[in-house]
Structure 1
Amino acid sequence: MDNVYFEYSHAFQAVTEFYAKDALDLQASQTFSGIINLEKTVICSLAAIIRYLKEFNLEKVLSKPKNFKQLSGEMEFMTINGTTLRNLEILQNQTDMKTKGSLLWVLDHTKTSFGKRKLKKWVTQPLLKLR
């Protein structure tokens, strides 16, 4: 796409035109005001997506923005690199490189393979904040 479609003024106009036609009742107008108050980069991206989907007559997917979710820039999980996992013996011990003796081995009282995978994820990617 041309860069003009990513310029804020053009993007704002395209998004306004796309959502204004449905803003007839109170709930729709509240939704509309929520959309036009999005960050500039989001408006620019939304306009480009609307234009792209119009080429395939699929723009109706975006007509109900109640499913839009704000993505957070904050990290939810701690990222632990491989060296740290190895040195802290999280998944395997350093003596014979087996699970026995590792943190995962101590904590693992799971009964299913799904539970084992979930526990492994929790141990290797701990939360940064309490929910």
Structure 2
Amino acid sequence: MWSLHDDRIRIEKMENKHFEYSSAFQLITDFYGCQEHDNTGSQTLSFILNLDKSILCCLAAVITYLKEFNLEKILYNLNNFKKLSSEAEFMTLNATTLKNLEILHNQTDRKTKGSLFWVLDHTKTLFGRRKLKKWVTQPLLKSSVYSAASSPGFP
């Protein structure tokens, strides 16, 4: 079922049964089990079933939705899965830490001048500035996770 609001937003609703764990588990095992003709199918199913229950429930709903458009096969490839956030890769700095370390603003007049970001910012584009801001506010926990040499735009 779907509806339009203000001619700009399309809202689609799914029945709650699509989000129930038992139904989701069955749908996912059927979906990924059908590709078990090789070793990668069982590895994919194993990876998927190790996700949190809430993620499995959402994945089942996504599979159901994509089937309406015959696009569900994109979910067979695990390379199409990407974590939106990972505590294992980035350090989480709270607002107090950002303020006390003067990462984005100095403590004297709350301006950028005098902050770590100001010292490091030699970017030429707004995109580069946003990327630098992300790197400064979410530093990597391990330097091996990201190599500057493998990044485009770095010598």
Alignment check: 8 A CA contact 1:86 1:94 kept: no
More helix by share: 1
Partner in structure 1 of residue 22 of structure 2: 9
User: Against the structure 1 CA distance between its residues 127 and 52, is the aligned structure 2 distance closer, same or farther, given a 3 Å change threshold?
Assistant: same
> What TM-score does the superposition give when structure 2 sets the normalisation length?
0.59
Q: Does residue 113 of the first structure (1) align with residue 124 of the second (2)?
A: yes
Partner in structure 2 of residue 127 of structure 1: 139
User: Against the structure 1 CA distance between its residues 98 and 60, is the aligned structure 2 distance closer, same or farther, given a 3 Å change threshold?
Assistant: closer
Alignment check: 8 A CA contact 1:5 1:11 kept: yes
* Identity between Structure 1 and Structure 2 (%): 44
AA in 2 matched with 1:46: L
Superposition map of 1:6-85 within 5 A: 6-70=19-83, 72=85, 74=87, 76-79=90-93, 81=95, 85=99
> What TM-score does the superposition give when structure 1 sets the normalisation length?
0.68
Offset, 1:73 = 5.4
How far apart are the structure 2 equivalents of 1:62 and 1:103? Answer: 41
Structure 1 runs, 4 residues or longer, greater than 3 Å off = 69-73, 77-82, 84-95, 101-105, 118-123
How far apart are the structure 2 equivalents of 1:86 and 1:126? Answer: 15
Partner in structure 1 of residue 4 of structure 2: none
More strand by share: 2
Deviations 1:86-119 (A, max 9, x none): 9948446856x573x45444x2473x41496144
Higher relative contact order (CA 8 A, sep 6+): 1
Offset, 1:68 = 2.2
AA in 1 matched with 2:51: L
Deviations 1:48-99 (A, max 9, x none): 00001111221122122343245555282445649x659948446856x573
